[in-house]
Amino acid sequence: MGFFGQWVDADLGNFEAAAARLRVVEVFWTDPGAALVQRARRAGPALVGWQVGSLDGALAAADAGCDFVIVQGVEAGGHVRGRTPRQELLASVLARTSIPVVAAGGVATARHVEAVISAGAAAARVGTRFVATTESGAHPAYVEALLSARSAEETVLTTAFSGGWPDAPHRVLRSAVAAAEAFDGDVVGHLVAGGERSPITRFAVSTPSRYVEGNVAAMALYAGEGVGEVHEVRPAAAVVADLVAKLG
């Protein structure tokens, strides 16, 4: 289970329950801290990881006692912690740390996975590719927008969708920013769940699920730079098989 560091203090019960019952707990966005790692250790046997966007962050994760660290390159979709390209960051971290390193950011093909594993990563993290899977809860219009993208140039690193999480850089489809800027009004749609319709404001941080109605094109359509390699919806198991096809 993953937790955002800036909000975990208000969710320590779930954090400890996850550490007690699950195999992995992970924290993102804030600087790694030994106190939270130790809390997980006291709660249970889960491995503890921290996702970072810099060499300093990775060193801090190791010093805090994490079992592994995820290094996120600037190519990543969604919220982006650093500014260093994936392979460059991976190399610098591998040269300075002894804990396992997971590489993330723009990984969408077997070639990408092979590149990070060959460089010394213990694993690869994939995000955007799994939005376009049979099991995904993403809105069909969001999935179609990903399938229509042809290259990394159709993504942009921005702070546009900051409603609910100000000043946090994130990578989305360029078309989403343009559509939100052109939208006339404050509410672009609604989340429909449990008989309730909750408004989604223009430039809200939330991404559209299949339970959303409205102008999906003007919502936060997160996408990494590997989006141009996402061409079809497939079962997640088939995607995994494709991703590891070049590994020995």
Question: What are the tens digits of pLDDT across the range 201-234?
Answer: 999 999 999 999 999 999 999 999 999 999 999 9
Domain boundaries, the chain: 2-130, 137-228
CATH architecture of 2-130: Alpha-Beta Barrel (3.20)
Measuring CA to CA, which residue among 22, 89, 126, 173 is closest to residue 2?
A: 22
Predicted local distance difference test score (pLDDT) of residue 245? 97
At 246, give phi and psi (nearest 5°).
Answer: -95, 0
Residue 186 in tokens: 């404050």
Decide if 226 contacts 107 (C-beta within 8 A).
yes
Residue 230 in tokens: 């996402």
Tell me the average pLDDT across 69-77. Answer: 98
Tell me the average pLDDT across 69-73. Answer: 98
Tell me the average pLDDT across 106-129. Answer: 98
Indicate if the pLDDT at residue 91 is higher than 90: yes
Of all residues in the chain, the percent with pLDDT exceeding 70 is 100
* Cβ neighbours around 106 below 10 Å, total: 29
Predicted local distance difference test score (pLDDT) of residue 230? 98
**Using 50, 70 and 90 to split pLDDT, how confident is the model at 47?**
very high
Indicate if the pLDDT at residue 80 is higher than 90: yes
Query: What's the pTM?
Result: 0.97
128 CB-contact burial (10 Å; exposed 0-12 / middle 13-18 / buried 19+): buried
Indicate if the pLDDT at residue 46 is higher than 90: yes
**Where do we find the tokens 């999480």?**
165
How far, in Å, CA of 45 to CA of 40, rounded? 8
Segments in 3-152 forming alpha helices (H): 12-21, 34-43, 55-63, 86-94, 110-118, 128-131, 140-148
> In this predicted model, what pLDDT tens digit does every residue of 8-28 receive, in sequence order?
999 999 999 999 999 999 999
Indicate if the pLDDT at residue 39 is higher than 90: yes
Mean pLDDT of the chain: 98
With b meaning 16 or more CB within 10 Å and e meaning fewer, what string describes 204-228? bbbbbeeebebbbbbbbbbbbbbbb
Q: Which sign, positive or negative, has the C-alpha torsion 9, 10, 13, 14?
A: negative
Predicted local distance difference test score (pLDDT) of residue 152? 98
Indicate if the pLDDT at residue 133 is higher than 90: yes
3-state secondary structure of 32: coil
Predicted local distance difference test score (pLDDT) of residue 248? 80
